[in-house]
């Protein structure tokens, strides 16, 4: 079962999203601020993180930047989808600049949420080979 961490300080949003995700068969773990979100991610290694941007301590973008800078490669590779109520111009760019892998505007729509989550769980960005990568075979077979 996929494990999803939702970092959210609003109890109503938490309840709604948890209900949707659990009904779809996901295991949901929770954190209510940025620092506990980071600690939970490091401890529980979720398959995906949904990150509210407006949090009471550090904001979700700062939390994402710290996660992506983690010395634990397992943690740094976890896809992060930002959830923001500030659907302003440039918001998506700010999220991406902070290291988020995806972006959802609030209010969260059920189908959009499930589609986005499924997309990242099936095709995590970290496993996508980049074209012209330096990932060349280490052994050569010259015969
Ligand atoms: Mn919030």
Residue with tokens 């301590």: 57
Q: Is the pLDDT of residue 127 over 70?
A: no
Q: Give the separation between CA 108 and CA 49, rounded to whole angstroms.
A: 15
Cα of 13 to ligand 1 centre, how many Å? 9
Q: How confident is the model at residue 123 (pLDDT cuts 50, 70, 90)?
A: low
Q: How confident is the model at residue 132 (pLDDT cuts 50, 70, 90)?
A: very low
* pLDDT 10s digits, 11-30: 999 999 999 999 999 999 99
Cα of 59 to ligand 1 centre, how many Å? 9
What domain range is 115 assigned to? 3-121
Task: Single out the residue of 33, 44, 31 nearest to residue 75, CA to CA.
Answer: 44
Could you tell me the end-to-end alpha-carbon distance of the chain, in angstroms, rounded to an integer? 46
Task: Confirm if 114 and 23 have CB atoms less than 8 A apart.
Answer: no
Look at residue 57 in the predicted model and tell me its pLDDT: 97
State the pTM of this model.
Answer: 0.84
Q: Is 31 a member of any domain?
A: yes
Q: Is 34 a member of any domain?
A: yes
Q: Is 132 a member of any domain?
A: no
For residue 73, what is the domain's CATH number?
3.40.50.2300
Q: Is the pLDDT of residue 98 over 50?
A: yes
Residue 40 to residues 31, 106, 110: CA-CA distances in angstroms? Answer: 7, 23, 25
Q: Is 110 a member of any domain?
A: yes
Q: Give the separation between CA 70 and CA 54, rounded to whole angstroms.
A: 21
Q: Is 90 a member of any domain?
A: yes
Q: Is 137 a member of any domain?
A: no
Cα of 63 to ligand 1 centre, how many Å? 13
Look at residue 92 in the predicted model and tell me its pLDDT: 84
Cα of 88 to ligand 1 centre, how many Å? 16
Cα of 57 to ligand 1 centre, how many Å? 10
* pLDDT 10s digits, 27-79: 999 999 999 999 999 999 999 999 999 999 999 999 999 999 999 999 999 99
Q: Is 126 a member of any domain?
A: no
Q: How many domains does the chain divide into? A: 1
Q: Is 127 a member of any domain?
A: no
The full DSSP string for 81-111 is: EEEES---TTHHHHHHHTT-SEEEESSPPHH
Q: Which residues of 44-59 are buried (b: 16+ CB within 10 A; e: fewer)?
A: eebbbbbbbbebeebb
With H, G, I as helix, E, B as strand and everything else as coil, classify residue 52. Answer: strand
């Amino acid at each position: 079962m996929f494990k999803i961490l939702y970092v959210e300080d609003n109890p109503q949003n938490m309840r709604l999203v948890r209900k949707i995700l659990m009904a779809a068969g996901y295991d949901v773990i929770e954190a209510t601020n940025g620092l506990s979100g980071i600690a939970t991610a490091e401890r529980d290694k979720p398959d995906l993180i949904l990150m509210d941007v407006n949090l009471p301590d550090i904001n979700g973008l700062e939390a994402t930047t710290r996660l992506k800078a983690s010395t634990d490669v397992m943690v740094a590779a976890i896809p992060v989808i930002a959830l923001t109520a500030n659907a302003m111009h440039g918001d998506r760019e700010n999220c991406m600049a902070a290291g988020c892998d995806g972006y959802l505007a609030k209010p969260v729509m059920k189908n959009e949420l499930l589609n986005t989550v499924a997309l990242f769980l099936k095709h995590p960005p970290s496993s996508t080979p980049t074209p012209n990568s330096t990932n060349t075979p280490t052994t050569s077979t010259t015969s």
